[in-house]
Structure 1
Amino acid sequence: MIGLLQRQNEELAAANERLTARVAELERRLGRNSGNSSMPPSADTFGRPVKKPQAKSVRKRGRQPGAGGAGLAMAAEPDVTTDHLPVACSGCGSALGESDSIGFERRQVRDIPLVTVTVTEHRAHRCRCACGTVTTSAMPQGVAGSPSSYGANLRALAVYLLVFQHVPVERTAQLIADVTGAEVSTGWVASLLGEAAGLVADSLNLIRALLVMGHILHADETTTRIGTARRWLHVACTDFLTLLHLAPRSRKGADAGGVLAHYRGVLVHDSLSLYAGYGACTHQLCGAHLIRELTAAEEDFPGQKWHQQIRWALAGLNRQAVRVRAGEIPGISPDALLLHYEAFHQGIAVGLSLHPKAPGRKQSPARNLLQRLRDQAHDILRFADDPLHVPFTNNCGERALRPVKTQLKISGCHQSEDGATAWLGVRSYLDSARKHGIGTFEAIHRAYTGNLWMPPIAQHI
């Protein structure tokens, strides 16, 4: 038995040496064919790059002598022009006026006007006709039913501070009072989240429908807190749209967003088991997660090479895909695909031989990783089949979740599920508008003034 294992290890070592030689040969061939293969030399194929110590710079901090400046440019047409004329001649004392000017020196100052609350009273008159009928004028749209209320501009500012700038409720009320003079209450500020969520509901419904119809969809999840309880937060997003919702960490919870259960395109995600249940769509597993797991395996087993080999294959294919999206090459060449596919699968085979299956269901982390790489290879390498559209990582989904963590760090947890749901709805609307180049304050102001932003349909289908 020992002799059999020794022969198997010797055969695997010999196969690894043959593959290394094959890699070097294909690299040389690719270098001759493309002129700029963007691949590392064969000596670095399966090794982690060694960081060279950097020499200490002798330059001083700050802008260097001779560097180009980036000062504030003067406006060609200023909004206000103020002329300053000398009162009298400095020589003889004669009076001087604008007609005596022979030139001037320019200076421009950019500033904002001080913000002060303006009270506008609306009077809906009742008029009696000669026939005796009394007709009452209707109040303008947006004027609340109570005798005194705050307007759309102030409401939009408060929601912008709460949702996009992560300012807590109490500090939002204080900031508004200090800057505008409006003594708003914390209760009024807190009530705006539910109001704003209702205003953007139509836009969220369209965002949800467009996500379902899209070709690429990113999905991710993280934890948040409501009071003292931990809750799960899900996101479905693209480079143009974002939809966040609260739900348990389960298939049913993911379905609650109204997107994944109906999706038929390419779903980009980490390897969480709940996503595997969506069989109607195709999958792309996040390469960044796999790279991190392979790096951790290298730290656990520094004497082995399979993790370096698989990591190099994934990173190399990603570099080729980046070149395709940048327009440098029309597609990943067959030779490059063969080179990296062979390295990927051979690395898995070597790793599985070094980490045999243990009795029972529980396996080592390295074995579980290798089995996942083997069994889901097509879902891991799908980006190489369509490098122009399918991304290598799920960074889009992770970026969409970062504001939620920022909110927890700055403002603390939400105090109710209704408040958290409203915050996530408004955040989804603002993030989607921002991805289309719409300013976040402009987006929420449009919702309050009856001009709700709606995502364009043609761009996403």
Structure 2
Amino acid sequence: MSESEIIKVYQEGIQSVISLVQGLSTQISELSQTVSDLDARLKKLEKQSNQTSQNSSLPPSTDGFKKTKSLRQPSNKKTGGQVGHQGSTLKMVKDPDLVVTHHPKTCQGCGCCLENVEPQKTIRRQVFDLPSLRLQVTEHQSQIKVCPNCHFKNEGLFPKHVTQPTQYGPHLTSVLTYFSHYQLIPFNRLKQLTQDIFKATISQGTLVNMTKRCDELLETTEASIKENLLASNHLHVDETGCYVNGKRHWLHVTSNQKFTHYFVHEKRGSQAIEANGILPSFKGTVIHDHWTPYFKYDDCTHALCNVHHLREFKGII
């Protein structure tokens, strides 16, 4: 207000002054509350902007290109192998697969022939290497024989896994499936690897079919893993993002010291946990990162991951 406006209110009497002061007091109170709200919001935003995988439950993927730092504290031990550590030195084997003998044919001193001279000593050196990697083609032939007595036509039985005129065998199938689903090599790179190493041209569709066949054969194995996890005293559960055909999915992991079960689902929360079917039936102690949907299951005991505790403490500090 200008000076003239204040004088005018004063001249109007005490009631006008009271009304003015009360109005200003209300405005000051509202402004004070607004400032307080904005300050709280600013602190919240600052806290969020300062959160990383090191001081909160955020995954490392949210850190971008920031250099991460381990929570592990440095020890006073020297670098390298510690006292009492058992190494894994390459040792000679008793029965090598192949022995190549190198013997001198003539004496380097006088030129005498040494072909029939018995060696005084043999020095051994062993090289551990892969054999030449190439596909071995096995042809299976089923013979048809007619019984001379009853004239019944008898046909030799092919092995169960031999179903086509030409096909890839179970060993190559298992190796490529391992590369794809454990070493996480994409199909396009796996096609190139097969061409470079095994000299075989293989299609992406064939790799998909190999995966399907292995999936069918591993159904009993998966059931056994689930049974062992449900029978254990404690479980570790977690979930991490992944992509299926370019769409965001979640890889749900359930494990103990001996067994690990992986389950991919398009959802992260309760819907996926129910579809997985392990946690809803578990009665022991489940250790997790306090992801809210886990607390829905109260037939088990909940224990929170100490790594996440340390991160939260660091964030508070």
Q: TM-score range with shorter-chain normalisation?
A: 0.5 to 0.7
The residue that corresponds to 2:275 in the other structure is: 256
Structure 1: 5+ residue stretches without partners = 1-50, 64-68, 299-461
Distance in structure 1 (CA, Å) of the matches to 2:232 and 2:124: 54
The alignment's C-alpha RMSD in Å is 2.7
The residue that corresponds to 1:288 in the other structure is: 307
Distance in structure 2 (CA, Å) of the matches to 1:181 and 1:250: 45
Q: How does 1:54-73 map to 2 (within 5 A)?
A: 72-73=90-91
Q: Kindly tell me: are residues 89 and 222 of structure 1, through their superposed partners in 2, closer, same or farther at Cα, counting changes over 3 Å?
A: closer
Equivalent of residue 219 in structure 1, options 204, 212, 237: 237
Displacement of 1:280: 1.0
Q: Which amino acid aligns with 1:180?
A: F
Q: Kindly tell me: are residues 85 and 172 of structure 1, through their superposed partners in 2, closer, same or farther at Cα, counting changes over 3 Å?
A: same
The residue that corresponds to 1:267 in the other structure is: 286
Distance in structure 2 (CA, Å) of the matches to 1:237 and 1:159: 22
Which range moves more in the overlay, 236-245 or 79-88? 79-88
Q: Kindly tell me: are residues 200 and 88 of structure 1, through their superposed partners in 2, closer, same or farther at Cα, counting changes over 3 Å?
A: same
Distance in structure 1 (CA, Å) of the matches to 2:262 and 2:80: 41
The structure with the largest alpha-carbon Rg is 2
The residue that corresponds to 1:180 in the other structure is: 198
Displacement of 1:228: 3.8
Q: Is the 8 A contact 1:173 1:185 kept in 2?
A: yes
Q: Kindly tell me: are residues 74 and 206 of structure 1, through their superposed partners in 2, closer, same or farther at Cα, counting changes over 3 Å?
A: closer
The residue that corresponds to 1:151 in the other structure is: 169
Q: Kindly tell me: are residues 223 and 72 of structure 1, through their superposed partners in 2, closer, same or farther at Cα, counting changes over 3 Å?
A: closer
- SS of 1:88's equivalent in the other structure is coil
Q: Which amino acid aligns with 2:177?
A: V
Q: Which amino acid aligns with 1:120?
A: T
Displacement of 1:264: 0.7
The residue that corresponds to 1:242 in the other structure is: 260
The residue that corresponds to 1:441 in the other structure is: none
Could you tell me the TM-score, scaled by structure 1's length? 0.47
Displacement of 1:284: 0.8
Displacement of 1:193: 1.6
Q: Kindly tell me: are residues 295 and 147 of structure 1, through their superposed partners in 2, closer, same or farther at Cα, counting changes over 3 Å?
A: same
Distance in structure 1 (CA, Å) of the matches to 2:240 and 2:226: 20
Q: Which amino acid aligns with 1:214?
A: S
Displacement of 1:191: 2.4
What's the CA shift string for 1:193-243, capped at 9, x where partnerless? Answer: 222111111100111122112110111122222234322332211111111
% same residue: 31
Q: Which amino acid aligns with 1:270?
A: D
Q: Kindly tell me: are residues 271 and 62 of structure 1, through their superposed partners in 2, closer, same or farther at Cα, counting changes over 3 Å?
A: closer
Distance in structure 1 (CA, Å) of the matches to 2:159 and 2:100: 39
Displacement of 1:70: 8.4
Distance in structure 2 (CA, Å) of the matches to 1:266 and 1:289: 17
The residue that corresponds to 1:90 in the other structure is: 108
Larger RCO, structures 1/2 (Cα 8 Å, 6+ apart): 1
The residue that corresponds to 1:162 in the other structure is: 180
Displacement of 1:96: 1.4
Q: Is the 8 A contact 1:126 1:136 kept in 2?
A: yes
Q: Kindly tell me: are residues 172 and 229 of structure 1, through their superposed partners in 2, closer, same or farther at Cα, counting changes over 3 Å?
A: closer
Displacement of 1:91: 4.0
Structure with the higher helix share, 1 or 2: 1
- SS of 1:99's equivalent in the other structure is coil
The residue that corresponds to 2:65 in the other structure is: none
Displacement of 1:159: 0.6
Q: Does 1:121 align with 2:139?
A: yes
The residue that corresponds to 1:16 in the other structure is: none
Q: Does 1:108 align with 2:126?
A: yes
Q: Which amino acid aligns with 2:129?
A: D
Displacement of 1:98: 4.6
> Paired residues, what number?
236
Structure 2: 5+ residue stretches without partners = 1-72, 82-86
The residue that corresponds to 1:229 in the other structure is: 247
Distance in structure 2 (CA, Å) of the matches to 1:216 and 1:260: 11
Distance in structure 2 (CA, Å) of the matches to 1:194 and 1:208: 20
Distance in structure 1 (CA, Å) of the matches to 2:215 and 2:88: 41
Q: Kindly tell me: are residues 139 and 285 of structure 1, through their superposed partners in 2, closer, same or farther at Cα, counting changes over 3 Å?
A: same
What's the CA shift string for 1:245-268, capped at 9, x where partnerless? Answer: 133222232111111111111111
The residue that corresponds to 2:316 in the other structure is: 297
Distance in structure 2 (CA, Å) of the matches to 1:192 and 1:279: 40
Q: Is the 8 A contact 1:85 1:98 kept in 2?
A: no
Displacement of 1:92: 4.0
Distance in structure 2 (CA, Å) of the matches to 1:165 and 1:104: 42
Q: Does 1:209 align with 2:227?
A: yes
Q: Is the 8 A contact 1:224 1:233 kept in 2?
A: yes
Q: Which amino acid aligns with 1:150?
A: Y
Q: Kindly tell me: are residues 96 and 264 of structure 1, through their superposed partners in 2, closer, same or farther at Cα, counting changes over 3 Å?
A: same
Structure with the higher strand share, 1 or 2: 2
